[in-house]
Amino acid sequence: MAIFSILDSDGTYKDTVALSPYYIDFNIDRIMKEINAYWKEDVSAMYRYFPSDEQGQEYRKSVYKDICRDGMYEILVDFREEMKNRAKILENKKQTRSELQKMVMTLSEMKIYLNAVDTLYKRLSEVKLESEGMTKLMQLLSDYVSSDRYKKLEEEVSAIRKSLDDIPIKLRYKDHFLYVSFEEVEGKYDSFLKEFSTPDKDNQKFLTFFQRKNPLGDAVEITALEEEVITIIYDKKPQVFGNLTRFIKEAGDYAEEYILQLADEIAFYLSFLTFERVMKERGLYFVPAKKSDSKKMVAEDLYDLALACQMSRDGIMPIANDTRMEEDENFFVLTGPNQGGKTTFARSLGQLVFFSKLGLPVPAKRAEIPFYARILTHFSVEESVETGKGKLAEELTRLAPMMEDSTQKNDFVVINELFTTAANYDACIMGKRVLDHFVGQGCHGIYVTHLQDLSKEDPGIVSLRAMMNEEHRQNFKIVRSTDPALESSILLVEKHRLHFEQVKNRLKGEEE
Amino acid sequence: MIAGLLFADKDWNHIKKYDDEKTIIDDLHLNTIFRVSAQKVIWKKGNVERVTGADPFIEQTMRRVIMAPLRTKEEVEYRQAVIKDFLKVPELAEELYELTTKLKDVWEAMGRNGKKHQEQDAAGEMITNIKVINMLLNTLCTVRSKLEEKKDNFSSEGLNNLIARINEELTEDKEKRIRKVLDDLSFYVLGEEREEKMKAGRICVPEIVLGCRIGDALRFDSFKLEELQSLDKKFHKPGGILSKMDDYKNKLVPDSIQLAKNPKLLDQGAYMERMMVRYLCESLNGFVDEIGAFFDQLQMQSAFMTGVCFLQDQMRRYSMSLTFPKVGEKQSYKFKELMELVMCLEQHMVPVGNTCEIKDKNMLVVTGANQGGKSTFLRSIGIAQILLQAGMPVLADEYEAPLYPGMFTHFTRREDSEMNSGRLDEELKRMSQIVDYLRKNEEEAPGTSLVLLNESFATTTEKEGSVIAYDILQAMTQMGVNVATVTHLLTFAKRLYEEKEQEKKDKGIEETNVVFLSAERLDSGERTYRMIPCVPQLTSFGLDLYDRMILGKDAET
């Protein structure tokens, strides 16, 4: 185990966690797609591993806060890029059989590593860091860069590299002979050709031909011709290669494991920050979730991030909702018209808990969330042709394991439309039992249903309704409501498509 | 470098077309002009020997250029001046067009625009590049000398500047440098050319001097090219005694590597040669792109000039000649013997000419009997206007009109003539589309729109059609749009006429914004096909009489 992890206070980070059903249910897969797209790398696996406790969550939140500081993002992205370049050399090493070449590559690899560590340390020293994770990292880096081991490595690498750089090679090619000598050339013909280049193409970004193309070939492995030339150099300057060989042998495993791990793990925070910045530019917002000491859960202007990713592309802002669960409350029961935003709201709650469990900011303006051990979901699915089971049987099959072992008493449960194929009477009884079970277990959660009766009786149950606006159109607002009777008549009218707007649209022929 | 024959400051690149291009072409039968301009008349002793088929590129270019209106008097005069110069030496336009077309064809056959020859490999591609550079350079020199030759005929800014620009682009020094690169590349020949040279006992070999460093991965990098040249020398057969003596000598040089000892080394040597060729060719990419684009423009622009010259030449068949129009004052028109060009070209006849001078009018209403030449008259204005706006000469003794880049046509269509609500719907839809365009155009450049209506709204009753026409045209003119309409809707014409007469009386003025024209009829009843200002007449004579008598009666009581 590494001595340090930026993802976990006790360094126990492991990245193999199975995909949970809620990934699909909450449309987290769609959010991940966006995150991966903006980060240009698949980081999904990192978003499947949660800190084991509240302390772990707080550890990450404070690290993230540090990473959001001015300049931090660039510092860490640069560090990661460098370390990726180093990894590329490791890959390239596998493509050559020449031992000498492998050694020179190792030298470059070390150079990049040293430079990355050095730059990271220097640049981080200029930032005021407060989190436990970052402070610990700085302590480790500080000790490391001032150690003799580090300094010696740095000195030797640059000395040996310099001895290689100091060999000018001049090649004259004529009559199928190559004449090698060791002297500087000016590049006279380059200068002659340069006069043809058009001024606008001549800026810094424009790579010269030789920067793009190696006239001796593009292979990673050293070519036969270069080997011949190297042999001549070897005869002339044996000590250069002797020093190289000795040094590489002695250096061995020179890299610190926690630094290599840091380069990987930091992508978790950076990928989210990249995503967050893009979304903020589009007018969306995020907030770090506050730890809730009681069992109270609060979210203001909470929205469905997956939906918002899509909509904000066209400049449309998602519907936001405030939600609040007091200390003595356990479960939301959400009812309301079809297409009224019920599932969207359930998803946004799920996403809220998901991101807060990861220790990342949540899609809301203010949030206070207690620690939940697990997230459990049950969303209704289309009847499965493969299993051949009826829908009810299929639902119960998925429900059973959820209700088995909620021993931790602090899970977050999202249920979306259970038992829709069962008779109303049966469905009510079964629904009530499910609800009682989770409430009895001390779980928090939301139950989206078309069954009006479920929300009655229990004081721990909060009844929510998807609302309609003055024109009786769905406005996707979710509010607390204890008297659904008031709206049931509206629902009836709506069911028969006889609202003002509906009738108007029907007459206009605009309705589908 | 721009060719600059069509515009002073730019080449042909996304030039805005008439909004309703296709309709205008159909209504005015402009395709005839495009086609005839692309046909060359072969003369023999003053008689037409034959007429060539239409050159598709010229035909297409005529359409592109003619259908993109010029927007200022300066632009028109600039282009007119260039055309006038070419008309003085019409063979020059054709020569430039042929030169540039040949270049383009050869280049495309060699694989320009990625249309690579099937069996062409990377090596062949570079040979192509070298050939292209050669070809561009030589063509540019030829174009320059052709222009210089005719220089004395040029009085236009366009042609004089073109010569100046070519001289500036291809200085003596630059030409020398490019030729040196080509010379240094001369070792790079393949196939037959190479064999031929070897038969003659000679061979061209490269000498390359490179500087480099040991790179980060031991592979060499930081290359610099110090020397490169082609050496023309005696060919010694490989394995022969002379060749062996050469090798022996070379081996004695310290730190030399004989590439022939290992096929891999030989391959690398050849690779390096190719990379050098590529490097040199790429260095000239800027030149190739620049001159390539220039020739594309020159081809297109000289195609247009050729088309105009051809068209003028076509007129000789009818012993007529096109003359250059003038850009005139706002809402004023002056024309002398204006003829319908398309009719002339299609029917090989000399059409009737019209002479007219109109001042400060934004609505022109043409009425009169069928077969009186009304539509022909309207089309002759439309065509002349389009040609004026393309900088081209027109078929008239004189033509002067303002510029209307926002020109539209709304002509009745044969299929419209039946009364049918679906057809009216279609007509109104077209009109509504025009209104959309007009709004846009007037927003950008107020007062530069002109709508030509020919027998519009014929798909409903006379009464309804009149109301529709009245509303639409009144609204348009009041919003500053210029309108010329040929109409059989006499209720409309009469109503408008009466209102305008009233306006004169009320305001005590002599002229209004509307002018009424009719086909002239001699007292004998004979038609002259000429348009003269007159009071709109009702063709339905009985009804006219009835109306007048009743109205007269009413007036008396």
- Under an 8 A CB cutoff, do B205 and A177 touch? no
Helix (H, G, I), strand (E, B) or coil at B418: coil
Do A153 and A289 lie in one domain? The reply is no
d(CA A39, CA A30): 14
- Under an 8 A CB cutoff, do A177 and B258 touch? yes
Q: What is the pLDDT of residue B438?
A: 87
Beta-strand relationship, A412-416 and A444-448: parallel
| B chain contacts of residue A187, beta-carbon cutoff 8 Å | 211, 224-226
Q: What is the pLDDT of residue B536?
A: 78
From the list A167, A179, A225, the residue facing B255 with the nearest CB is A179
Angle between helices B285-315 and B56-66 (to 10 degrees): 90
CATH code of the domain containing A411: 3.40.50.300
Mean pLDDT of chain A: 83
Confidence class of residue A275 from pLDDT cuts 50, 70 and 90? Answer: very high
- Under an 8 A CB cutoff, do B218 and A230 touch? yes
pLDDT tens by residue, B443-489: 888 889 999 999 887 766 677 778 788 888 888 888 888 999 998 88
| Non-local CB neighbours of A314 within 8 Å, separated by 6+ positions | none
Contacts across the A-B interface (CB distance below 8 Å) = 180
- Chain A nearest-CA distance from B468, in A, is 27
Do A296 and A444 lie in one domain? The reply is yes
Give the least confident one: B132-141, B339-348, B426-435, B439-448. Answer: B426-435
- Under an 8 A CB cutoff, do A178 and B225 touch? no
CA B531 vs CA B353, B360, B518: distances in Å:
9, 18, 5
Nearest chain A residue (CA) to B184: A189
d(CA B195, CA B202): 10
d(CA B114, CA B136): 18
- Under an 8 A CB cutoff, do A193 and B218 touch? no
Q: Would you tell me which residues 100-119 of chain A have a C-beta closer than 8 angstroms to some C-beta of chain B?
A: 100-101, 104-105, 108, 111
pLDDT tens by residue, A123-149: 999 999 999 999 999 999 999 999 999
Residue A170 in domain: no
d(CA A334, CA B108): 69
pLDDT tens by residue, B524-542: 666 676 778 888 765 434 3
Other C-beta atoms within 10 Å of B453: how many? 26
Residue type at position A237: K
Mean pLDDT of B270-287: 90
Q: What is the pLDDT of residue B213?
A: 95
The residue count of chain B comes to 557
Nearest chain A residue (CA) to B251: A177
Contact of A99 with chain B, judged by CB distance below 8 Å, is answered with no
Describe chain B by its helix, strand, coil percentages, rounded to 5: 55, 15, 30
Confidence class of residue B121 from pLDDT cuts 50, 70 and 90? Answer: low
The CATH number of B320-556 is 3.40.50.300
- Most A CBs within 10 Å: which of B257, B271, B281, as the mutation test of the A interface? B257
Q: Which of A182, A185, A226, A209 is nearest to B227 (CA)?
A: A185
Give, for A361, the enclosing helix (H) or strand (E): none
Q: Would you tell me which residues 296-355 of chain A have a C-beta closer than 8 angstroms to some C-beta of chain B?
A: none
Nearest chain B residue (CA) to A90: B217
Q: Would you tell me which residues 127-166 of chain A have a C-beta closer than 8 angstroms to some C-beta of chain B?
A: 164-165
- Chain A nearest-CA distance from B254, in A, is 8
The fold for domain B21-157+286-313 equals MutS, DNA mismatch repair protein; Chain A, domain 3 (1.10.1420)
Nearest chain A residue (CA) to B270: A176
| A chain contacts of residue B212, beta-carbon cutoff 8 Å | 169, 171
pLDDT tens by residue, B28-51: 999 999 999 999 999 999 899 999
pLDDT tens by residue, A294-311: 888 999 999 999 999 988
pLDDT tens by residue, B219-241: 999 999 999 999 888 888 877 88
- Under an 8 A CB cutoff, do A173 and B264 touch? no
* Residue A156 structural domain: 22-165+252-265
| Non-local CB neighbours of B262 within 8 Å, separated by 6+ positions | A224
d(CA A64, CA A56): 12
- Chain A nearest-CA distance from B246, in A, is 9
Q: Which of A96, A175, A315 is nearest to B273 (CA)?
A: A175
- Chain B nearest-CA distance from A507, in A, is 23
Q: What is the pLDDT of residue A422?
A: 66
pLDDT reading at B123 higher than 90: no
- Under an 8 A CB cutoff, do A195 and B226 touch? no
- Most B CBs within 10 Å: which of A100, A108, A177, A188, as the mutation test of the B interface? A177
Do A294 and A439 lie in one domain? The reply is yes
How would you list the strands of the sheet with A444-448, edge to edge? A375-379, A412-416, A444-448, A331-335, A461-468, A474-480
Q: Which of A207, A239, A265 is the endpoint of a domain? A: A265
pLDDT tens by residue, B366-388: 987 666 688 899 999 999 999 99
| B chain contacts of residue A224, beta-carbon cutoff 8 Å | 262, 264-265, 268
Cα Rg of chain A, angstroms: 31
pLDDT tens by residue, B172-223: 999 999 999 999 998 887 667 777 777 788 888 899 999 999 999 999 999 9
d(CA A289, CA A353): 9
- Chain B nearest-CA distance from A143, in A, is 29
Q: What is the pLDDT of residue A469?
A: 47
| Non-local CB neighbours of A127 within 8 Å, separated by 6+ positions | A66, A69, A70, A71, A72, A75
Contact B217, A92 (CB under 8 A): yes
Residue A368 in domain: yes
Do A257 and A351 lie in one domain? The reply is no
Nearest chain B residue (CA) to A222: B219
d(CA A244, CA A241): 5
Do A479 and A376 lie in one domain? The reply is yes
| B chain contacts of residue A226, beta-carbon cutoff 8 Å | 218-220
Give the least confident one: A38-42, A108-112, A398-402, B96-100. Answer: A398-402
d(CA B392, CA B133): 36
A36 vs A482, more confident:
A36
Nearest chain B residue (CA) to A171: B210
Nearest chain B residue (CA) to A201: B286
The rounded Cα B478 to chain-centroid distance in angstroms is 34
Confidence class of residue B391 from pLDDT cuts 50, 70 and 90? Answer: very high
Confidence class of residue A426 from pLDDT cuts 50, 70 and 90? Answer: confident
Mean pLDDT of A70-83: 96
Residue type at position A264: D
Residue A55 in domain: yes
- Under an 8 A CB cutoff, do A172 and B284 touch? no
Do A352 and A296 lie in one domain? The reply is yes
DSSP B31-91: HHHHHHHT-PEEEETTEEEEEPPPPHHHHHHHHHHHTS---SHHHHHHHHHHHHHHHHSHH
Confidence class of residue B243 from pLDDT cuts 50, 70 and 90? Answer: confident
Q: What is the pLDDT of residue B119?
A: 45
| Non-local CB neighbours of B398 within 8 Å, separated by 6+ positions | B323, B325, B326, B334, B335, B336, B337
Do A301 and A160 lie in one domain? The reply is no
Q: What backbone torsions phi and psi does residue B205 show, to the nearest 5 degrees?
A: -125, 150
| B chain contacts of residue A82, beta-carbon cutoff 8 Å | none
- Under an 8 A CB cutoff, do B272 and A215 touch? yes
Q: Would you tell me which residues 214-273 of chain A have a C-beta closer than 8 angstroms to some C-beta of chain B?
A: 214-217, 220, 222-226, 228-230, 232-233
Give the burial class of B26: count Cβ atoms within 10 A of its Cβ; 0-12 exposed, 13-18 middle, 19 or more buried.
Answer: middle
From the list B211, B260, B278, the residue facing A185 with the nearest CB is B211
Q: What is the pLDDT of residue A340?
A: 67
Q: Which of B139, B154, B90 is nearest to B306 (CA)?
A: B90
| A chain contacts of residue B271, beta-carbon cutoff 8 Å | 215-217
- Chain B nearest-CA distance from A101, in A, is 6
Helix (H, G, I), strand (E, B) or coil at A190: helix
Confidence class of residue A504 from pLDDT cuts 50, 70 and 90? Answer: very low
pLDDT reading at B156 higher than 70: yes
Quote the tokens at residue B517: 């024209």
- Chain A nearest-CA distance from B12, in A, is 22
- Chain B nearest-CA distance from A222, in A, is 6
From the list B177, B275, B283, the residue facing A213 with the nearest CB is B275
Q: Which of B514, B520, B509 is nearest to B492 (CA)?
A: B514
Do A261 and A319 lie in one domain? The reply is no
Residue A117 in domain: yes
Residue type at position A252: G
Which residue's entry shows tokens 């050709």? A193
CA B290 vs CA A196, A201, A452, B295: distances in Å:
11, 12, 75, 9
Mean pLDDT of chain B: 87
Quote the tokens at residue B31: 């395709």
Do A260 and A355 lie in one domain? The reply is no
Task: Produce one character per residue of B469-505: b if its CB has 16 or more CB atoms within 10 Å, e if not.
Answer: bbebbeebbeeebbbbbbbbbbbbbbbbbeebeeeee
Domain range annotation of chain B? 21-157+286-313, 186-283, 320-556
Do A464 and A364 lie in one domain? The reply is yes
Do A351 and A261 lie in one domain? The reply is no
pLDDT reading at B421 higher than 50: no
A325 vs A268, more confident:
A268
Mean pLDDT of A354-358: 95
pLDDT reading at A484 higher than 50: no
Do A411 and A448 lie in one domain? The reply is yes
Q: What is the pLDDT of residue B543?
A: 42
- Most A CBs within 10 Å: which of B252, B283, B289, as the mutation test of the A interface? B283
| A chain contacts of residue B269, beta-carbon cutoff 8 Å | 173, 176, 178, 225
Helix (H, G, I), strand (E, B) or coil at B323: strand
CA B83 vs CA A255, B61, B308: distances in Å:
76, 15, 8
Confidence class of residue A90 from pLDDT cuts 50, 70 and 90? Answer: very high
Q: What is the pLDDT of residue B98?
A: 97
pLDDT reading at A502 higher than 70: no
Task: Produce one character per residue of B125-154: b if its CB has 16 or more CB atoms within 10 Å, e if not.
Answer: ebbbbbebbebbbebbeebbebbeebeeeb
- Under an 8 A CB cutoff, do B226 and A105 touch? no
DSSP A30-90: HHHHHHHHHHTS--GGGGG---SSHHHHHHHHHHHHHHTSTTHHHHHHHHHHHHHHHHHHH
Contact of A203 with chain B, judged by CB distance below 8 Å, is answered with no
Confidence class of residue A503 from pLDDT cuts 50, 70 and 90? Answer: very low
Contact of A187 with chain B, judged by CB distance below 8 Å, is answered with yes
pLDDT tens by residue, A154-166: 999 999 999 999 9
The residue count of chain A comes to 512
Which residue's entry shows tokens 């539209």? B408
